[in-house]
A and B are shown apart, each in its own frame.
Chain A
């Protein structure tokens, strides 16, 4: 059964590694729905968060193939209920729509969004949440009038204790042997 999985990859910070990881997906004709790279809490170790919709056997296969890359420290995969995750969306709307009464402000408040930037001809609204939530605000703003919309990839943190620390301890013990 196909499901949404979040894959979290810890790696060295090296040129070309992103390509290597992406190739794991593309050569199997799997669409990456979202991809975010950032530093991890450990200095020098990078983190990739990839969202895909595949079956369980495939996600396990993908994780092994990613871990096979020499400069990858470890990869984990999660179902949505095992992580806390967010996406950020930005909406650029005409300033004029705010001048027509409080309707827009009510919408922004109801969606727990905030106004990020106000210019003479446009206003930028920011909303953080799950895809369905940023999408819902988009639908409403579309009715009122919108110039531009963009959404980030997913950032996610596992609900369990960070398994990487445990893994690193095991590795250190192995190396020490």
Chain B
């Protein structure tokens, strides 16, 4: 172990080795911040200025050609936009805010990114180091506040710390299990001078994210897989994060094992792939839920057995031998015991496993899933994808229509609630990195800004933002972002005048006592137009198809306000506390 000099403590890592003599330039800390971001390949930063971060905003003014700043209307909008950006590119995105309220307005997004493993570098301004701890104007203990919702955070009080801390932050954010990091920089550190030199970090002595799968575990897994009669794969977010879709497809096609996706696993393989059996969890599909409790070998890849996936753990896959491929060791044996834990990157594990497994088919077993699909189709899907008997549009109908018209090729960014589950269920995800949604945190208000970030990052792809009337109003101000940058996000507002998911629970579990869930809504079309976003309302099921066509044909942002059935429930449903085997179809 190399003992490092005390001055290296902030970094505690090693930069890429170079034999050239160090070339440095004497610049201000604020400029160094901008240069670090550019050196890490950041071209867009989402944020909102304020007192304590003003030196950095001044430095950004001089680098506008290399680093574009997107001014959101609220810091929460900025960070969700950054999340949307990171989700579709799988690259680290950056956001920036001032101290105190600015930093705290990022907090929801930081927690969201932490739960959904989204790589972010969040920069917050801080008061002068000399007044830290004196309750100075807009001073908040940002490091303390974000400690439990960041993968790493650090407060910079000296300009010379900037390059090494940024290098460390970027290295941490997008290696291993990705996550958000916060860098809090005092105003004097931004104003002070340093001899700037930047090197990317390649190693931290306390952090070893690139774990290789152990041969012995892989051998055990291969043996189980080769002998299994009813194997089943749970495909999580980790496969797309590892960019392992190809080897995953090769793996399932060789082994013939049916797969179910977690919500963030949507798009891992196309929905119409013959081994795709649907989504897992509380509002997932019938087949993958009940079959989890019938399989003999359960292979979980890049997922963490969230309670929304497992339901009651006492009744979850008790019959199965579990193989768990996961990069984060703390997720293994956390909720579900793994008989064969494989702590590794999904791509590495699957690449090694592929030649070890036999080519097989599980025709009869797969047919059981298809039989379950039929039941679900008759009891739920057929109903959901048509209008109500009263002639109202149903959410499923909207999602199916937009899915057909975009051929399942769009990015779907959602808010949180009933519409989110319907969007997950009825859009046919045919390409990867297409699902942008708040899963772990369930953050209402996520949809619109995240859709903006996704479209801004990947302008060639169609981006559909699916919102409910509740969540939409939490970040409705970001319509201004879409208008200002003319970013063609297509907003499908599914309006039932209710906080629908809460209302559904009140109906089912609180004897229809509708406590504070009904909304008197504004004229959404007028609001959108006020922002300069073209908008239209539709309530007639017969006019839906044409309305969606017009929305998609429009060049620029567009709001389609769809009035949907007011008291629609999302089924199937695993009631809270029940086992997945007790999934309700009605």
B 151-163 to A, binary, CB cutoff 8 A, 1 in contact else 0: 1111100000000
Contacts of A110 on B, CB cut-off 8 Å? Answer: none
Is there contact, CB below 8 Å, between B144 and A44? no
CA–CA, A54 and B445, complex, Å: 39
A 55-84 to B, binary, CB cutoff 8 A, 1 in contact else 0: 001001100110110111100000000000
**CB neighbors of A among B103-159 (8 A):** 143-144, 147-148, 151-155
Is the C-beta of B89 less than 8 angstroms from some C-beta in chain A?
Answer: no
**CB neighbors of B among A135-177 (8 A):** 168, 171-172, 174-175
Given the interface pairs A27-B148, A172-B1, the reply to whether A64 lies near B205 with Cβ below 8 Å is no
23 pairs, A vs B, C-beta closer than 8 Å: A11-B206, A12-B12, A12-B206, A16-B147, A16-B154, A16-B155, A20-B147, A20-B148, A23-B147, A42-B3, A44-B3, A44-B4, A44-B6, A57-B333, A61-B334, A65-B330, A67-B330, A68-B328, A68-B329, A70-B204, A70-B206, A172-B1, A174-B208
Beyond A12-B9, A12-B12, A73-B206, 17 additional contacts (C-beta under 8 Å) are: A14-B9, A16-B143, A16-B147, A16-B153, A19-B147, A42-B1, A42-B3, A44-B4, A44-B9, A61-B333, A61-B334, A67-B329, A70-B151, A71-B152, A72-B206, A171-B208, A174-B208
Is the C-beta of A13 less than 8 angstroms from some C-beta in chain B?
Answer: yes
**CB neighbors of A among B250-309 (8 A):** none
Q: Which of these, A43, A70, A171, contacts B3 with CB under 8 Å? A: A43
Is the C-beta of B172 less than 8 angstroms from some C-beta in chain A?
Answer: yes
Given the interface pairs A12-B206, A16-B143, A44-B3, the reply to whether A23 lies near B330 with Cβ below 8 Å is no
User: What residue in chain B is nearest A169 (Cβ atoms)?
Assistant: B1
Q: Which 9 A-B pairs have the closest CB atoms?
A: A64-B330, A70-B152, A73-B206, A68-B330, A70-B207, A23-B148, A43-B3, A168-B1, A12-B12
CA–CA, A15 and B155, complex, Å: 9
**CB neighbors of B among A84-118 (8 A):** none
Q: Residues of B at under 8 Å CB distance from A? A: 1, 3-4, 6, 9, 12, 143-144, 147-148, 151-155, 172, 203-208, 328-330, 332-334
User: What residue in chain B is nearest A66 (Cβ atoms)?
Assistant: B330
Contacts of B155 on A, CB cut-off 8 Å? Answer: 15-16
CA–CA, A166 and B206, complex, Å: 14
Contacts of A23 on B, CB cut-off 8 Å? Answer: 147-148
Contacts of A172 on B, CB cut-off 8 Å? Answer: 1
Contacts of B151 on A, CB cut-off 8 Å? Answer: 70
CA–CA, A28 and B329, complex, Å: 18
Q: Say how far A10's CB is from chain B's closest CB, in angstroms.
A: 9
Q: Say how far B285's CB is from chain A's closest CB, in angstroms.
A: 31
Q: Say how far A85's CB is from chain B's closest CB, in angstroms.
A: 25
Given the interface pairs A60-B333, A64-B329, A67-B329, the reply to whether A175 lies near B203 with Cβ below 8 Å is yes
Q: Say how far A45's CB is from chain B's closest CB, in angstroms.
A: 8
Most chain A Cβ neighbours within 10 Å, of B3, B204, B206:
B206
Give the A interface residue count (CB, 8 A): 29
Is there contact, CB below 8 Å, between B206 and A71? yes
Q: Residues of A at under 8 Å CB distance from B? A: 11-16, 19-20, 23, 27, 42-44, 57, 60-61, 64-65, 67-68, 70-73, 168, 171-172, 174-175
User: What residue in chain B is nearest A62 (Cβ atoms)?
Assistant: B330
Q: Say how far A28's CB is from chain B's closest CB, in angstroms.
A: 11
User: What residue in chain A is nearest B151 (Cβ atoms)?
Assistant: A70
Contacts of A175 on B, CB cut-off 8 Å? Answer: 203
Q: Say how far B435's CB is from chain A's closest CB, in angstroms.
A: 26
CA–CA, A70 and B207, complex, Å: 6
CA–CA, A54 and B203, complex, Å: 34
Q: Which of these, A13, A67, A68, contacts B9 with CB under 8 Å? A: A13
User: What residue in chain A is nearest B329 (Cβ atoms)?
Assistant: A64
Contacts of A19 on B, CB cut-off 8 Å? Answer: 144, 147
CA–CA, A85 and B83, complex, Å: 47
CA–CA, A20 and B153, complex, Å: 10
Given the interface pairs A12-B206, A43-B3, A64-B329, the reply to whether A71 lies near B148 with Cβ below 8 Å is no
CA–CA, A73 and B205, complex, Å: 7
Contacts of A12 on B, CB cut-off 8 Å? Answer: 9, 12, 206
Most chain A Cβ neighbours within 10 Å, of B1, B3, B143:
B1
Q: Say how far B70's CB is from chain A's closest CB, in angstroms.
A: 28
Contacts of A57 on B, CB cut-off 8 Å? Answer: 333
User: What residue in chain B is nearest A177 (Cβ atoms)?
Assistant: B212
Q: Say how far B203's CB is from chain A's closest CB, in angstroms.
A: 6
Is there contact, CB below 8 Å, between A71 and B144? no
Contacts of B152 on A, CB cut-off 8 Å? Answer: 70-71
Contacts of B204 on A, CB cut-off 8 Å? Answer: 70
Contacts of A73 on B, CB cut-off 8 Å? Answer: 205-206
Q: Say how far B252's CB is from chain A's closest CB, in angstroms.
A: 29
CA–CA, A16 and B206, complex, Å: 16
CA–CA, A19 and B148, complex, Å: 9
User: What residue in chain B is nearest A71 (Cβ atoms)?
Assistant: B206
Most chain B Cβ neighbours within 10 Å, of A27, A71, A72:
A71
CA–CA, A58 and B268, complex, Å: 33
CA–CA, A57 and B12, complex, Å: 32
User: What residue in chain B is nearest A23 (Cβ atoms)?
Assistant: B148
CA–CA, A11 and B204, complex, Å: 12
Contacts of B143 on A, CB cut-off 8 Å? Answer: 16
CA–CA, A45 and B206, complex, Å: 10
Q: Say how far A86's CB is from chain B's closest CB, in angstroms.
A: 28
Contacts of A11 on B, CB cut-off 8 Å? Answer: 206
Contacts of B4 on A, CB cut-off 8 Å? Answer: 44
User: What residue in chain B is nearest A170 (Cβ atoms)?
Assistant: B208
Contacts of A13 on B, CB cut-off 8 Å? Answer: 9
Q: Say how far A69's CB is from chain B's closest CB, in angstroms.
A: 8
CA–CA, A68 and B328, complex, Å: 8
Most chain B Cβ neighbours within 10 Å, of A12, A23, A72:
A12
User: What residue in chain A is nearest B148 (Cβ atoms)?
Assistant: A23
CA–CA, A67 and B9, complex, Å: 19
CA–CA, A60 and B199, complex, Å: 37
Contacts of B6 on A, CB cut-off 8 Å? Answer: 44
User: What residue in chain B is nearest A175 (Cβ atoms)?
Assistant: B203
CA–CA, A42 and B4, complex, Å: 11
Q: Say how far A157's CB is from chain B's closest CB, in angstroms.
A: 20
